[in-house]
Amino acid sequence: MSSDCVIPADGFSFSREEIAQCVSRQGLLSLEIELTPACNFHCPTCYLGDQPKGSGLSHEQICDAIGQARDLGARRIILFGGEPTLYPRLRDVIDFIRTQKLEIELFTNGGKIDAEMARFLHDRDVAVVLRLDTLDRQVQNRLAGCGRGYDIIHEALAKLWQAGYPDPARGKRLATSTVICDDNFDEMPDLWRWIRTRGMAPYVEIFAPRSGAPKNGQELRVSSDRLKRLFDALSDIDRAEFGRKWEPQPPLGGDACKRNLFSCVVRAGGEVFSCVGLTIPLGNIREQPLRNILHASEVLENLRNYRMKIKEPCRSCFKAEDCYGCRGAAYQLTGDYLAADPSCWHAAGAAIDVLPVEVAGLIPHGPAIRMVDRLAEVGERQARTELTVPADSPLVDADGRLDETAYVEMIAQSLAACYGFHLSRDEEHLHAGFLLGIKALTVCGEVRAGDRLQIHVRKLARYGDLGVAEGTIRVCDGPVVARGEIKIWQSSRPPQGE
Amino acid sequence: MKMNQVRSQIQSMLHVESGADGFRATFKADSDFMLFRDHFRGRPVVPGISLIQAVLLAGAAHEGADDLRLCALKNAKFFAAVLPDDQVLIDAAVVRGEDSTVDIKANLTVNQKRLAQIALTARPAPAGR
């Protein structure tokens, strides 16, 4: 079951103090691990989309990742997929996690949960989070992308109940996982009551379409004003009928989501992400230890420092202490993981930048020397920009040929644009930079006026305000024309002294 | 060959003395330098690439070529900013390669203070373009 984010409310979450301590030590409280990308459902709301290429992690590699997470402070391992019950060694993984004295959560659509599996999970105190989008058979089958979706879920639910779930007092927790979309929107209050009255925890989250995917589920998206009304209604139900008080805020009903501060995702191919919605690869555990990936990640550093880095209106929202919206939704809808969450009703009507953006306001360079037009992508220590070479540039000669020295500016300005993109309005006017060095810049081709270029920069090292980066410049859909390394100083701090 | 506007203006601000194994040149960008307005508004600084262009143009003069095209920038280090009217002194060693390329190693100073080091490979621009 892979459709949604995987850290639910009602005793499944961590305290504010635990999260703060985790941030300060750059550790983990939980690890979400995809056991297999294979799935018997084909949900239109699935975040994960394309299956990773290559073979999946071996059982030993999965256990090693879990051990690394434990060493980083994780207390809980969250198993998901694809559909994790399709993973042949699921029971071995669960038994291994128990030997590590860690809590276990299993996100499943119930695919392989028969009576025996339900007892196995019950006996090992596995918290089960079962997919349940609706009580309507036809809608469920549609949202599962599977003609037997409804039957599979409800047969599994019956087996879990028979096994003794839910019994939270004895550690036998059972939750349901629901993605709010247009198809099940009207049913949500009734579904919420249905789940609560059966002693289960409703884990309900807002659906955000995936960017770039051909079938990204855009038609299932619910507007932020409708979501506000629904969250208010669910909060009222909990207060009036179940004695539970919570403040409505996206993306989860009944809880805040700040998982990027204390959790990460390891996908079946070993790729590490901050969460399932924030699909910027941070590294791969097949290539380096998890600790190194988490400590070197600029994405995670910015998220840990979200009070300074997140953009308006999230930044000055009255709920900013306890909420930063859904970082996955922000990334999928804008390309910027630090953007305000467009699905949040508190941000309704606000102008939120969506990548690509013009760089004119991001870098201090004026038109005559500006060698980048747009910032197209911002990833983990890397970015991609674009330029259409202007015929009237003073660096273009009468034959239309661009001066090769301009390649240096392209790389430096791409880095500056990436840096400027993460600055707040207060910091923008202080943005200053200086080119300190260039190394091994090779010119491979000629560029002419009108050519469309892509500049890809990757940060290799950083020492305070100093950074080293490599850049590659290519004609769109064409060959590389130059590549090289630069060293740059950038700052947005006020000058020291007088 | 008609070079781009920036190179043309730098050339007009450049004086080159050729020697046996290299050249000595001076380059002074006065306040009319066309890139000052945009690099940066209100606090003009000579772009690093214009120092590279100055080395290429001085190298071209030394080689008797109209211009030099950059093939590779092996290494460049910039130690200080060059401001309007700074008199930049360029001392360079030039080695001709077998494939019509030239290797230039240049030390740039302002008032005897180290400003930049630039090592590059260039090729004479085709004549008549």
Residue A3: the pLDDT is 41
In 3D space, the residue among B98, B99, B4, B20 whose CA is nearest the CA of residue B56 turns out to be: B4
Instruction: Please tell me which of the candidates A366, A435, A436 has its beta carbon nearest to residue B41.
Output: A366
**């644009």: which residue's tokens?**
A417
State the pLDDT at residue A211: 65
The span from the CA of A259 to the CA of A29, in Å, is 9
Residue B74 φ/ψ, nearest 5 degrees: -70, -45
B32 touches chain A (CB under 8 A): no
* Distance, CA of B42 to CA of A493 (rounded, Å): 18
Residue B129 lies in a domain: no
**DSSP structural state of residue B126:** P
| Inter-chain touch A399–B129, beta carbons under 8 Å | yes
First to last CA, chain A: 59
List chain A residues with CB under 8 Å of B48: 408, 435, 438
Whether residues B53 and A405 touch (CB distance < 8 A) is answered with yes
Burial class (CB in 10 A: 0-12, 13-18, 19+), A50: exposed
* B90 domain-assigned: yes
pLDDT for residue A146: 95
B115 lies in a domain?
A: yes
- Residue A343 in contact with residue B18, Cβ under 8 Å? no
Q: In chain B, what percentage of residues exceed pLDDT 70?
A: 97
Cα gap A385→A373, rounded to integer Å: 7
Burial (CB count within 10 angstroms: exposed 0-12, middle 13-18, buried 19+), residue B71: buried
pLDDT at residue A102, as a whole number:
97
Q: B2 contacts in A (CB within 8 Å)?
A: 397-399
- CB of B89 within 8 Å of a chain A CB? The answer is no
Provide the shortest C-alpha distance from residue A492 to chain B (in Å): 15
> Residue B126 — pLDDT band, cuts 50, 70, 90?
confident
**Structure tokens belonging to residue A99:** 């030997």
In contact, A121 and A106? CB cutoff 8 Å: yes
Question: Which pLDDT value is given to residue A8?
Answer: 44
Confidence of residue B108 (pLDDT cuts 50, 70, 90): very high
Chain A partners of B6 at a C-beta cutoff of 8 Å? 394-395, 403
Q: Which two tokens stand for residue A330?
A: 């922000």
Report yes or no: B48 at the A interface, CB cutoff 8 Å: yes
Angle between helices A149-163 and A115-123 (to 10 degrees): 50
Q: Is residue B27 situated within a structural domain? A: yes
Tell me how far apart the alpha carbons of residues A409 and A372 are, in angstroms, rounded to a whole number.
9
Instruction: Out of B39, B70, B76, name the one closest to residue A437 (CB).
Output: B76
Task: Look at the block and give the residue holding tokens 């309007």.
Answer: B84
Is there a domain that residue B70 lies in? yes
Residue A428: what pLDDT? Answer: 74
pLDDT of residue A498: 36
List C-alpha distances in Å: A361 to A229, A273, A426, B75. Answer: 37, 30, 13, 31
The number of distinct structural domains making up chain B is 1
Q: What share of chain A is helix, strand, coil (3-state, %, to 5)?
A: 30, 25, 45
Residues shown for chain B: 129
| Chain B nearest CA to A400, separation (Å) | 9
In chain A, the residue whose alpha carbon lies closest to the alpha carbon of B74 is A440
Predicted confidence at residue A496, as pLDDT, reads: 58
Distance from CA of B3 to the nearest CA of A (A): 5
B75/A contact by beta carbon, under 8 A: yes
Whole-complex ipTM: 0.97
Q: How far, in whole angstroms, is CA A486 from its chain's centroid?
A: 30
CA distance B111 to chain A (A): 20
- The whole domain housing B13 covers 3-124
Inter-chain CB pairs, A–B, below 8 Å: 91
Task: Find where tokens 């009928």 sit.
Answer: A241
Q: Of A237, A241, A230, which Cα lies nearest the Cα of A182?
A: A230
Count CB neighbours of A464 within 10 A.
Answer: 7
CA distance B124 to chain A (A): 13
Domain contains B28: yes
- Give the pLDDT of residue A153: 98
Query: What pLDDT does residue B129 have?
Result: 43
The whole-model pTM stands at 0.90
Choose from A397, A409, A488 for mutation: most chain B CBs within 10 A: A397
Dist CA A18 CA A428 (whole Å): 34
DSSP element (H, E) containing A74: none
pLDDT in 10s for each residue of chain A, 498 residues: 544 444 444 555 788 899 999 999 999 999 999 999 999 999 888 877 655 556 789 999 999 999 999 999 999 999 999 999 999 999 999 999 999 999 999 999 999 999 999 999 999 999 999 999 999 999 999 999 999 999 999 999 999 999 999 999 999 999 999 999 999 999 999 999 999 999 999 999 988 777 655 455 667 788 889 999 999 999 999 999 999 999 898 888 887 788 999 999 999 999 999 999 999 999 999 999 999 999 999 999 999 999 999 999 999 999 898 889 999 999 999 999 999 998 899 998 899 999 999 999 899 999 999 999 999 999 999 999 999 999 999 999 999 999 999 999 999 999 999 999 988 777 777 778 899 999 999 999 999 999 999 999 999 998 888 999 999 999 998 999 999 999 999 887 765 543
How far is A407 from chain B, CA to nearest CA, in Å? 9
A158, A110 contact by CB (below 8 A): no
Residue of B nearest to A436 (CA): B78
Closest CA relative to residue B13, chosen from B33, B43, B36, B35: B33
Instruction: Note whether residue B55 is domain-resident.
Output: yes
Contact list in B for residue A363 (CB cut-off 8 A) is none
Structure tokens at A401: 């040929």
Report, in angstroms and rounded to the nearest whole number, the Rg of chain B calculated over CA atoms. 14
Q: Rounded distance, CA A75 to CA A101, Å?
A: 8
Q: Is B100 among the domain residues?
A: yes
Q: How far does Cα A258 stand from its chain's mean position? A: 11
Give the model's confidence band at B1: pLDDT under 50 very low, under 70 low, under 90 confident, else very high: low
Q: What CA–CA distance (Å, rounded) separates B42 from A305? A: 32
CB-based contact A63:A96 (threshold 8 Å): yes
Residue whose tokens read 């779930």:
A165
pLDDT at A7: 43
Among all residues of chain A, which has the CA nearest to that of B9?
Answer: A394
- Report CB contact under 8 Å: B35, A409: no
**Residues of A near B (CB-CB distance < 8 A)?**
364-370, 393-399, 401, 403-406, 408-409, 434-443, 484
**What is the CATH classification number for the domain harbouring B80?**
3.10.129.10
- In Å, the largest CA–CA distance within chain A is 82
Query: Residue B107 in 3-state DSSP?
Result: strand
Report the chain B residue with the minimal C-alpha distance to residue A403.
B4
**A contacts of B77 (beta carbons < 8 Å):** 436-437
Interatomic CA distance for residues A419 and A160, integer angstroms: 51
